[in-house]
């Protein structure tokens, strides 16, 4: 707890630890007692220590394909409810990685618990219904087809241009995020940020680059209450428009910018209908962003 208080003091955002499997016997087989992850009880209670230390937001994850998905999902939900019982704070995010081939092991090919795309979609829907306030992450492990298919299943966060090579982000000599000598596994979706944003815009989905919550104190118990009551959605929609316009002007390709600006028009109309009294303040910030001011948020 004292070590985690140090992380809290230097401004850590979301503290993520992936349990990988809640099955105690299987966990022991995957993580021998002498290894860094070898203590099941210590790992499964890490979020309790984290929240006790004052870190506001925590992120869960199991590796689907190691064990029966029903057991893993049920355990994830019960883990979340236990944290709510003790701290009134559940997971800020849930991640849903699937077991992928990796060098040095046959587990990904031999596991009897591998899941197909339909089951994966079912897991996401159940998780969204069971923990409706949490952010849900589907990573670039998935293929483009798989990620496209689950965007309407409650997913709120995705990654693009990810670098999974060991030391990939710190070693600037490595030009490829698919460094075959150092990558941990094969990525399924290699679309760039611009390509992904353009695809999302083409289907009428706005991309938010907002990080306002961390800078204005909407974290921990504060954001949990806002998420559970739906109030956070008002801030998210507005800040999504502001940050999206900033990104379009600074980084987007011409075609992505064209689609994005068209989408912003419809989002502003929705905000005007939803929050008519607040709309003038939104437009004031939006016009400031268009003029070149940066890092504006509500």
Write down the pLDDT at residue 163.
Answer: 74
The pLDDT of residue 21: 97
Short-list 95, 89, 83, CA closest to 17: 95
CA torsion 94-227-279-212 (nearest 10°) is: -60
pTM of the model: 0.86
Paired with 232 in beta bridges are none
Please give the sequence-ordered ranges of beta strands (E in DSSP) within 62-147, or none if there are none: 93-95, 135-138
SS3 98: strand
For the chain, the helix, strand and coil percentages under 3-state DSSP, each to the nearest 5: 50, 10, 40
DSSP 8-state secondary structure symbol assigned to residue 38: -
Report the pLDDT value the prediction gives residue 182, as an integer from 0 to 100: 63
Amino acid 220: pLDDT = 66
Residue 13, pLDDT score: 80
pLDDT (tens place) for every residue of the chain, 298 residues total? 999 999 889 888 889 999 999 999 999 999 999 998 999 999 999 999 999 999 988 999 999 999 999 999 999 999 999 999 999 999 999 999 999 887 788 888 899 999 999 999 999 999 999 999 999 999 998 999 999 999 989 899 999 887 777 776 676 545 555 555 666 667 889 899 999 999 999 999 999 998 766 666 666 666 666 667 666 666 788 999 999 999 999 999 999 999 999 999 999 999 999 889 989 999 999 999 999 999 887 7
Report the pLDDT value the prediction gives residue 175, as an integer from 0 to 100. Answer: 53
């Amino acid at each position: 707890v004292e070590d985690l208080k140090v992380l809290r003091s230097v401004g850590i955002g979301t503290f993520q630890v992936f349990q990988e499997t809640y099955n105690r016997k299987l966990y022991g087989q995957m993580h021998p007692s002498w290894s860094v992850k070898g203590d099941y009880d210590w790992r499964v209670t890490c979020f309790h220590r984290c929240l006790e230390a004052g870190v506001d937001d925590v992120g869960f994850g199991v590796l689907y394909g190691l064990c029966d998905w029903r057991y893993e999902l049920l355990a994830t939900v019960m883990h979340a409810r236990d944290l709510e019982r003790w701290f009134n704070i559940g997971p800020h995010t849930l991640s849903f990685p699937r077991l992928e081939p990796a060098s040095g092991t046959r587990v990904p090919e031999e596991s009897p618990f591998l899941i197909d795309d339909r089951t994966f979609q079912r897991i996401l829907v159940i998780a969204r219904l069971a923990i409706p306030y949490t952010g849900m992450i589907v990573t670039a492990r998935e293929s483009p087809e798989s990620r496209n298919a689950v965007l309407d299943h409650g997913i709120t966060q995705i990654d693009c241009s990810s670098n999974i090579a060991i030391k990939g982000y710190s070693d600037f000599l490595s030009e490829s995020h698919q460094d075959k000598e150092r990558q941990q596994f094969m990525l399924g979706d290699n679309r760039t940020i611009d390509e992904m944003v353009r695809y999302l815009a083409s289907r009428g989905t706005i991309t938010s680059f907002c990080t306002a919550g961390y800078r204005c104190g909407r974290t921990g118990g504060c954001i949990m209450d806002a998420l559970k009551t739906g109030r956070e959605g008002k801030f998210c929609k507005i800040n999504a428009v502001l940050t999206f316009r900033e990104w379009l002007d600074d980084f987007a390709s011409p075609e992505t910018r064209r689609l994005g600006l068209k989408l912003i028009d419809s989002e502003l109309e929705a905000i005007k209908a939803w929050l008519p009294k607040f709309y003038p303040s939104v437009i004031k910030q939006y016009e400031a962003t268009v003029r070149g001011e940066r890092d504006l948020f509500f």
